[in-house]
Amino acid sequence: MTSDVLPPRTRAPRSRTALRGLVVGAVLAVALLVLRAVSATWGADALPDRIRDFVTLSVSVVIESLPFVFLGILISVVVRFWVPDHVIHRIMPTNPALRRVVISLVGVLLPVCECGNVPLARGFMMKGFSVPEAMTFLLAAPILNPVTIVTTYQAFGWNDGILIGRIAGGFVIANLVGWLFSRHPRPELLLTPAFEEACRIGDGDHGHEHGRAGQLAKLRRGVVAFADETSTMLPALIVGSAIAGAIQVGLSRDVLTALGSNPIWSVLALMLLAFVIAICSNVDAFFILAFGSTFLPGGVVAFLVFGAMVDVKMITLLRTTFTTGALVRLVAVVALASLALGFGVNLLA
Amino acid sequence: MRDRLLTRWRGILLSLVGIVAIIWLAVTGQLGLYIHPRYYEFTVIMAVLAGVVVLAAFAIVPTATEADHDHGDADHDGHEHHDHAPDDHAPAPGDHEHAADVAAGDLGAAVPPPPPGRRRDLVWAGLAGVVILGTVGALLIVPPSTLTTATVDQRDLNASAAVTDTGATETLVGSDTSAFTIKDWASLLRQGAGEDYFAGKTATLTGFVTPDPTDPDDVFYVARFVVTCCAVDAQPVGVPVYLPGWQDSYAVDSWVEASGSFGTNPSTASSQPIVFEPADITPVDQPAEPYVY
């Protein structure tokens, strides 16, 4: 296959190389399907239980997240190549704080899971969003989107201020983080050099491609951008899922649930649970509802806010884009704010 | 240039592995081993869409030119390293020389001499290879399977999902028991519906066998996992069955169908006041949908 990858030294016509690539891809897909069909008959009993469960848990995170990551990348590619820059500039306020407020509501229009938001945020930054704006989007969109709000309402109704705490807390924390990072003298230093470079080169719609040829060229670039984004995102997703699976197998959940009825420990324990369990914000309310009688409402709100913003899988995904230093600060601020929110709800409830 | 093109295949290959795994699970009806049914359609639709793009990538990426990726009208030098390791964990000082070298290699078609940043790239390429092989192993070679008793031990049987809320249990008390799942029975037992309620009730339960931690010799659970999103959040629920010496007949993690009624637990060691008294237990195959929701 590598011979296809090399520069077209052979000067073979593009269409023939393309056809050959297509055939290689189809053959490979069929070969993988055959491999899967054959290996499925082997029986999993040969593996020790713990290894088997580690694989099952990690694979479940991958199968759950992969469609959202694909969706995020596809929307990101569409935004980058097909939405003209001036459209975004026209609808966005010029005042930075107001811009962040509007950006924190963008999730209402793009209700994807938080893992799909990372490629989308990268697309927005390539499109000219600032780093603090992208962070605000990343933190707010998983909470301030219709699916999350509806499922949280279905799970908790108006009880104990959980729904209000989640929506208001998510909005305030996202904008607080955006504001804090906007004080940074050179926000571009918060990005990994590789991604910063990619942004600086500029991207997307240059306004000089029209007609059918232009659309075809855009399609080609869109497909290549999909390949580039999956190359960045998927290894991170897979490593993050493996870590999440390993923690699940290694950490006994009794320890966390035992701490649930203490006003202080319930908040910390549930934040830790949210961090390691790494489930999508769309459904985490149902999950934690199952623990509802064990945990205090402040712990539940902290779980719903912190877990939607940060978890072990998100960290590996975010690391593709932000430096370690930036992530440490981001997680610290979000964690402290979620703690304060959780304690506050416990005090009031 | 060459580095970058090789890097790009990483995402295409990983996507393909994931898509093949999803499609195969969907076709053979086994997606339920990993995710909640509400995601079936979305997952399959996204896999098919991504599959189309991945096939297109097989056609387009081999012939991709500068115009196709860097979108740049100018600025063609010095930026070449931007995706040689996008999951760059530690930007090393060698990065810039490397960038310059790759750029130089780009101009001359000949193979460039190994630049200083080369070793780091090899390490990353090796790690990427490990990730790809590991993904193939986990998604395409290890046979799909449900969670086992090892996970039950980690997650406190009947600790949570069964105790959803008392309102739901009150509804259960008044309703027809023939449609009850293990989750429903476990909720009733957990909420302490009382011996009066269970007197004369019969049930048929299908689940896997897992020992009662408080009296593993005499009592086992017919258990299921409750899933809200995907297998990672699975919570075990189960109904205790009193049957001294059960280990001789039924293996842990094997699936059984038990029918019978409820009664006081004769075991003094077990923490459960009420147990299922089976009239009949038959080994069965694992059902197509092993989890309950």
Is position B288 within any domain? no
Contacts of B233 in chain A (CB under 8 A): 277, 279, 287
In the predicted model, is pLDDT for residue B25 greater than 90? Answer: yes
Cβ B230–A64 below 8 Å, yes or no? yes
Asked if A220 and B155 come within 8 Å (Cβ–Cβ), the reply is no
Residues A70 and A144 in one domain: yes
Q: Phi first, then psi: what are they for A305, rounded to 5°?
A: -85, -50
For A189-210, give the DSSP string. GGB-HHHHHHHHT--S--S---
- A35 DSSP β-pair partners: none
A32/B11 Cβ within 8 A:
no
**Is the distance from CB of B86 to CB of A235 less than 8 angstroms?**
no
Residues B123 and B206 grouped into a single domain: no
- Indicate the number of domains in chain A: 2
* Total beta-carbon pairs less than 8 A apart between chain A and chain B: 333
Say whether B232 and A278 touch across the interface (CB within 8 A): yes
Alpha-carbon distance of A285 to A165, in angstroms, equals 13
Cα(B40)–Cα(B292) distance, rounded to whole angstroms?
15
* Same domain (yes/no): B72, B135: yes
Torsion of CA A213, A216, A221, A226, to 10 degrees: 170
pLDDT of residue A128: 84
Domain that holds residue B172: 149-283
Shared domain for A332 and A280, answered yes or no, is yes
Residue contact A238–B134, C-beta within 8 A: yes
Q: Which of residues 34-53 of B touch A (CB under 8 A)?
A: 34-36, 39, 42-43, 45-47, 49-51, 53
Q: What is the pLDDT of residue B27?
A: 94
Q: Report residue A115 as tokens.
A: 């893992």
| Lookup: tokens for B195 | 């011996």
**Most trustworthy range by pLDDT among A64-68, B121-125, B131-135, B168-172:** B131-135
A265 and A293 together in one domain:
yes
Residue B210's DSSP bridge partners are B221
| Regions of chain A short of the pLDDT cut 50 | 1-6, 8-11, 204-205, 207
Residue with tokens 């942004």: A199
Which residue on chain B is closest to A71 by alpha carbon?
Answer: B46
- Overall average pLDDT of the B243-263 stretch: 89
Q: Do A231 and B91 touch (CB under 8 A)?
A: no
Residue with tokens 């912190």: A306
What is the pLDDT averaged over residues B17-34? 93
Q: Which residues of A50-68 are buried (b: 16+ CB within 10 A; e: fewer)?
A: eebbbbbbbbbbbbbbbbb
Sign of CA dihedral B183, A155, A141, A321: negative
User: Is the pLDDT at B76 greater than 70, yes or no?
Assistant: no
Instruction: Inform me whether the C-beta atom of residue B133 falls under 8 Å from chain A C-beta atoms.
Output: no
Q: Across the interface, do B160 and A290 touch by the CB < 8 Å criterion?
A: yes
Same domain, A112 and A208: yes
Contact B4, B80 (CB under 8 A): yes
**Residues, chain A:** 349
Same domain, B54 and B134: yes
Facing residue for A25 by CB, picked from B55, B68, B73: B55
* pLDDT value, residue A205: 46
- The torsion angle over the Cα atoms of residues A274, A276, A282 and A283, rounded to 10 degrees, is -80
In degrees rounded to 5, what are phi and psi of residue B65? -110, 180
User: At B271, phi and psi to the nearest 5?
Assistant: -85, -5
Q: Which amino acid is at B229?
A: C
CATH code: domain of residue B222: 2.40.50
CB A267 within 8 Å of CB A304? no
The Cβ-side half-sphere exposure at A133, using a 13 Å CA radius, reads 22
Task: Give the per-residue pLDDT at A101.
Answer: 93
Q: Is the pLDDT of residue B251 over 60?
A: yes
Residues 182-221 of B with CB under 8 A from A: none
Query: What is the pLDDT confidence band of residue B189, given thresholds at 50, 70 and 90?
Result: confident
Complete DSSP assignment for A70-85: HHHHHHHHHHHHHS-H
Assess whether A323 and A180 both reside in one domain. yes
For chain B, how many structural domains are there in total?
2
Asked which of B141, B163, B178 is the last residue of a domain, the reply is B141
At residue B172 the predicted structure's pLDDT band, cuts being 50, 70 and 90, is low
Q: Is residue B63 part of a domain?
A: yes
**Closest Cα partner for A303 from A254, A345, A245, A244?**
A345
Q: Which burial class, exposed, middle or buried, applies to A183 when counting CB atoms under 10 A from its CB (0-12, 13-18, 19+)?
A: exposed
Q: Is the pLDDT of residue B69 over 60?
A: no
Domain end call among B141, B172, B195: B141
Q: Of B64 and B223, which is predicted with more confidence?
A: B223
B67-A192-A275 Cα angle (round to 5): 125
One domain, residues B166 and B129? no
- pLDDT > 80? residue B176: no
Band the pLDDT of B169: cuts 50, 70, 90.
Answer: low
Which residue of A5, A115, A231, A316 to mutate against B (max B Cβ within 10 Å)? Answer: A231
Are residues A51 and A196 both part of a single domain? Answer: yes
Facing A224 at nearest CB: one of B16, B68, B151: B68
d(CA A157, CA B198): 32
Claim to verify: residue A51 and residue A138 sit in the same structural domain: yes
Same-domain status, B6 and B134: yes
**How many Å apart are CA A222 and CA A216, to the nearest integer?**
10
Regarding whether B206 and B80 lie in a shared domain, the answer is no
| For A205, nearest residue in chain B (alpha carbons) | B71
Task: Identify whether residues A79 and A25 lie together within a single domain.
Answer: no
Query: What is the per-residue pLDDT for A127?
Result: 84
For residue A120, give both structure tokens: 């989308």
pLDDT at B72: 36
CA of A98, closest CA in chain B: separation in Å? 31
The beta strands (E) that lie in B182-291 are given as 202-211, 219-226, 235-242, 255-264, 274-283
Residue B46 CA, chain-centre distance (Å), reads: 18
Report CB contact under 8 Å: B9, A227: yes
Q: Above 60 in pLDDT, residue B121? A: yes
Domain ranges, residue A38: 1-42
Please answer yes or no on whether B87 and A320 come within 8 Å at the CB atom: yes
> Is B291 within the bounds of a domain?
no
pLDDT digits (tens, 9 = 90+) for B94-116: 343 343 333 333 333 444 455 55
Residue from A58, A76, A91 nearest A123 by CA:
A76
Last residue of a domain, one of B97, B114, B141: B141
Which of B20, B138, B148 has the CB atom closest to A29's CB atom?
Answer: B20
Amino acid A310: pLDDT: 92
pLDDT in tens, B197-235: 888 888 888 999 999 888 888 899 999 988 877 887 788
Query: Which among B24-28, B62-66, B209-213, B259-263 has the top mean pLDDT?
Result: B24-28
Looking at the structure, tell me whether residues B8 and B133 fall in a common domain.
yes
Nearest to B157 by CA among B183, B181, B194, B195: B183
**Does residue B176 share a domain with residue B118?**
no
